[in-house]
Structure 1
Amino acid sequence: MMRVLHYVDESNLAWGETWVQLLAGLSERGVENFVACRDYGTLTERLEKAGIEFGLCRPLSQALPFTNRQLGKFIDGFRPDLIHTRLSSAAKIGGWWGKHKCIPVLQTIDKYPKLKYHKDGDFFAACSSSVRDYFISLGVPMEKITVVHNPIDVSKYTRDESVRREVRTSHNVAEGVKIVLAAGRFVDWKGFDVLIRGYDLYLTEHEEDAAKSILWIVGGGEEKEKLTSLAANARFRDRIKIFPFAQDVRPYMWAADLFVLPSKTPEPFGIVLLEAMACGLPAIATKAGGPLDIIEDGVNGWFVKPNDEASMAEELARVLPGTSVEGASRRACERAASFGVGRIAQETTALYEFVTRSARMPSFADF
């Protein structure tokens, strides 16, 4: 049995639920897991419920990895074959301890971080081809990085038709009206302002379609007032509605017909896109970053130019009036299913075996 120590220097993770499911999938494939994390929180609650062993540790300084002596004690006690880190601070600390304990370190890369946090990694698992290519551009050898996508529990997102009817009825959405949905944090780079302006431009240029769709945006954050004002001043303000943050966004996804991910800059992956597709929503997304691994243009979704409201308006005009949305729904579900926890657990287990066979590789300290 392979022994893997997973280290995240956090205690509350937005992706914690699916990650714990992935750990359970690894256990089923013969991996003995131990998780080191920062404090008690939502992550430890999930680990306890799943019966996965964990321990708490906190460095005195994230800049000084050796101050996390409890992590060193966990390594000595658990005696892992491999250390697997997630997030940059854990990569820096876990990489240092792996190097000094002569244990290979696999680092999952979920964003576009600086290489300095990952100089002691032996091998890298990028969450998307975009993140992999970014790391290669920093000088990481191609043979030391691969893509392992983030997983999704597809069964959670199967459309509930009764909830769909209930939500649409409660918001007086007429039969045949298509709901265009977007969801996420209200920060500038997410591009919700581009979506609002693009949707308003689409209806301005195609007034005959104004009664055939509505735009819903679900979320919260620093841009809330700006987006609310932008929607209120749109020409077709009555077709745009902004909802507060929802802990469970699935009812909105089940009620909707099309999802939009309008990010101005590349998404490292785009888990909300995958969740929407698992709900049966084909999607329009910016042609950059993680969505390039998820969407097949014209098959289960469509691409638009980044930060371009005219491109957004043009794509909405091309997709919404006809039957393209309905035809792509099944294919969106099928694509999401290929990111299921079982398949990602299998890929991860195979990667563990490869990294441990390769033994300790040279660090990137000289890059």
Structure 2
Amino acid sequence: MRIVYLNPIGEMGGAEVALLNLLASLRDAKPHWKLHLVVAAEGSLAAKATSLGVTSHILQFPASLTRLGDASAGGPAGDSVGRLALLRQLLLASFGIAVYVSKLRKLLRQLNPDIIHTNGFKMHLVGAMAKPRDVPLIWHVHDYVRSRPVMARLMRLFRRRCSIALTNSNSVREDVRTICGDILPVQTLYNSVDTTVFSPHGPSLDLDSLAGLPPPDQNTVKVGLLATFARWKGHHTFLRALSLLSADLPLRGYVIGGGLYGTNGSQYSKDELKALAQDLGISDRVGFTDFVAEPAAAIRALDIVVHASTEPEPFGLVIAEGMACGRAVIASAAGGATEIIDAEVNALSHSPGDAARLAEQIKSLAANGELRQRLGLAGRAVVQERLNRERLVKDLAPIYSQLAKGRMAGKQIDAFVAESAKTDYASSNTSDKVATTLGRFDASDRVRGLDSLRFICAMWVVFVHCGFFPLLQNVDKARFAGKVIAGLYNNAFNGSAAVIVFFVISGFCINFPYSKGRRLSPKAYFSRRYIRIIIPMMVAILLARPLNI
């Protein structure tokens, strides 16, 4: 079996760690399967996958697509990006998206996968657009969809191109079902943890040296937050909680992680968090280490692992990793995190964003080493039982096998239909070779350059409507020179003329193949018209409401 995985970023976030665990599990259990990983950015992910025996490919996103995202346009990162600004970003990225989809489609044809498995919102959509028609597509959803105003509508639009969605918790499963309905099968597949790596035994990092802090006293309790700098990961809550604790308490805090995503407005900067610590008066009691290559060693250097997400956590991988390392964990009790922990049994909890309660829980653990040890032992037992790698393969391999069998059956049916069609043509004494194309265009059906000219005309109309050329704002149209400039401008950037040219070219392109004797298939003709006109129109309608345009 040949499986191609698509991932939108190159560095290691929670979804990337989960993907690597999945690849490692499959490589051990199914060594004869051919696994490929396509990554949209340079980074450590591709190298780590290659070390597992996975063939890695770098197909970089254009910068406009990397920056594009709705997390900060009413999503989990807030509303720092306006919806009109998001629409402009989307329009500017449209050409880059089209080029990337074309490149990805070409690569997928070369790799000829039996299954495509996407990891991350952007790859869910790009994969749906680029995948070959007969190849099953799996969306591996690691985040809530409903909180993303644009992504939710686009995933609902493309849901029929996906064979099944896998989610990392029951909480995310219900969220996806709410968006995509009963059309798309959805199944929970909990993330796994390598308990040989995330173990109480092993080397520990010198966090103080990494953070540029002097060594603490021997009895100092170390408490840390490991996360990307995404705004909903709770860095603000963690730092506020530390500020509520007495300075006399022998405790030091650590922020371990960094910026990961290129999406505008979706994350803090390190300078912002340092400034916040300074404002709270705790800059001498908290250190910032940036990303670490060995998170297990960082966790072992801590006494308490804090998870402080202010939004419901889809899964909470750092919770499971902290528990696997035998460390006491304090988790934000919402979403998928509640499916991992049993409060007061294998972890402590606090409500999302409740800095005062988090401070109380940190204080109680800092003062009670026996409680820390008890929670650590119970937490590791849970991970070993429920979140081990062996369970992951047992749950996932049957899904792959079933989808691959379905694809083979579909290919056999397609081959039978094609052979029958050839027989029908032969028996009807049809000698026109053009008819054998069965409604599909070939290179001779196109005039080179016309499609590009149509695209330019279409974008011209978009630019005029969106006001991308505000050159006349400071021109005095009452003066003769102003009238000349305005006349030249309005003729050069004439949306009405672009519409006329677009439709003239479109009429020619529609008629041209049939003028050469091509057989008209009404079903194929109207199917193409539907795909090219109705679907983009529906996308525009769906985007109009959330963007208030």
Deviation string, structure 1 residues 262-314 (Cα, Å, up to 9, x no partner): 11112222222222222211211111133222222112112211111222233
Which residue in 2 is equivalent to 1:138?
179
Instruction: Report if the CA contact (8 A) 1:216-1:241 is conserved.
Output: yes
Structure 2 residue corresponding to 1:240, chosen from 285, 290, 313: 285
Which residue in 2 is equivalent to 1:218?
256
Per-residue deviation at 1:41? 4.4
Larger radius of gyration: 2
Residue type of the partner of 2:382? R
Instruction: Report the 3-state secondary structure (helix = DSSP H, G, I; strand = E; otherwise coil) of the residue aligned with 2:196.
Output: helix
Structure 2 residue corresponding to 1:153, chosen from 194, 199, 206: 194
Instruction: Report if the CA contact (8 A) 1:123-1:144 is conserved.
Output: yes
**Structure 1, unpaired ranges of 5+:** none
Distance in 2, matches of 1:332 and 1:312, equals 19
Instruction: Report the 3-state secondary structure (helix = DSSP H, G, I; strand = E; otherwise coil) of the residue aligned with 1:138.
Output: helix
Residue type of the partner of 2:372? V
Instruction: Report the 3-state secondary structure (helix = DSSP H, G, I; strand = E; otherwise coil) of the residue aligned with 1:106.
Output: strand
Pair 1:34–1:305, CA change in 2 (3 A): same
The percentage of aligned residue pairs carrying the same residue is 20
Residue type of the partner of 2:7? V
Pair 1:321–1:134, CA change in 2 (3 A): same
Per-residue deviation at 1:346? 2.6
Residue type of the partner of 1:345? V
Count of residues in correspondence between the two structures? 354
* Alignment of structure 1 residues 110-129 onto 2, 5 Å: 110-113=142-145, 114-115=151-152, 116-117=154-155, 118-119=158-159, 120-129=161-170
Distance in 1, matches of 2:297 and 2:330, equals 19
* Alignment of structure 1 residues 67-86 onto 2, 5 Å: 68-86=101-119
Q: Give the CA RMSD over aligned residues.
A: 3.6
Per-residue deviation at 1:171? 2.0
More strand, by proportion: 1
Residue type of the partner of 1:189? W
Per-residue deviation at 1:336? 3.0
Instruction: Report the 3-state secondary structure (helix = DSSP H, G, I; strand = E; otherwise coil) of the residue aligned with 1:351.
Output: helix
Deviation string, structure 1 residues 302-348 (Cα, Å, up to 9, x no partner): 22111112222333344443332121111222233342333223322
The answer to whether 1:190 aligns with 2:223 is no
Which residue in 1 is equivalent to 2:341?
295
Instruction: Report the 3-state secondary structure (helix = DSSP H, G, I; strand = E; otherwise coil) of the residue aligned with 1:156.
Output: coil
Residue type of the partner of 2:371? S
Instruction: Report if the CA contact (8 A) 1:123-1:355 is conserved.
Output: no
Residue type of the partner of 1:104? P
Which residue in 1 is equivalent to 2:133?
101
Which residue in 2 is equivalent to 1:44?
46
Per-residue deviation at 1:225? 4.2
Residue type of the partner of 2:226? A
Distance in 2, matches of 1:252 and 1:107, equals 31
Residue type of the partner of 1:27? R
Pair 1:307–1:43, CA change in 2 (3 A): closer
Which residue in 2 is equivalent to 1:8?
7
Which residue in 1 is equivalent to 2:387?
339
Which residue in 2 is equivalent to 1:316?
362
Residue type of the partner of 2:29? R
Instruction: Report the 3-state secondary structure (helix = DSSP H, G, I; strand = E; otherwise coil) of the residue aligned with 1:34.
Output: strand
Deviation string, structure 1 residues 120-151 (Cα, Å, up to 9, x no partner): 21210112222212212214329711111233
Which residue in 2 is equivalent to 1:327?
374
Residue type of the partner of 1:80? P
Instruction: Report if the CA contact (8 A) 1:59-1:69 is conserved.
Output: no
Deviation string, structure 1 residues 50-75 (Cα, Å, up to 9, x no partner): 33234454678875568634443444
Deviation string, structure 1 residues 94-125 (Cα, Å, up to 9, x no partner): 22344x52222111012224231453212101
Deviation string, structure 1 residues 163-205 (Cα, Å, up to 9, x no partner): 489979x723323x432222223454222222233244354xx
Residue type of the partner of 1:285? A
Which residue in 1 is equivalent to 2:148?
none
Q: Please, which moves more after superposition, 158-167 or 309-318?
A: 158-167
Instruction: Report the 3-state secondary structure (helix = DSSP H, G, I; strand = E; otherwise coil) of the residue aligned with 1:312.
Output: helix
Deviation string, structure 1 residues 29-66 (Cα, Å, up to 9, x no partner): 33332333346643333343333234454678875568
Q: TM-score w.r.t. structure 2 length?
A: 0.56
Pair 1:154–1:173, CA change in 2 (3 A): farther
Q: TM-score w.r.t. structure 1 length?
A: 0.80
Distance in 1, matches of 2:98 and 2:341, equals 39
Deviation string, structure 1 residues 230-264 (Cα, Å, up to 9, x no partner): 444557x4883222314244444223211111111
Instruction: Report the 3-state secondary structure (helix = DSSP H, G, I; strand = E; otherwise coil) of the residue aligned with 1:179.
Output: strand
Distance in 2, matches of 1:316 and 1:125, equals 35
Pair 1:192–1:38, CA change in 2 (3 A): closer
Higher relative contact order (CA 8 A, sep 6+): 1
Residue type of the partner of 1:350? P
Which residue in 2 is equivalent to 1:277?
323
Distance in 2, matches of 1:225 and 1:39, equals 24
Which residue in 1 is equivalent to 2:125?
92
Instruction: Report if the CA contact (8 A) 1:65-1:92 is conserved.
Output: no
Which residue in 2 is equivalent to 1:260?
306
Instruction: Report if the CA contact (8 A) 1:189-1:265 is conserved.
Output: yes
Which residue in 2 is equivalent to 1:26?
26
Residue type of the partner of 1:181? G
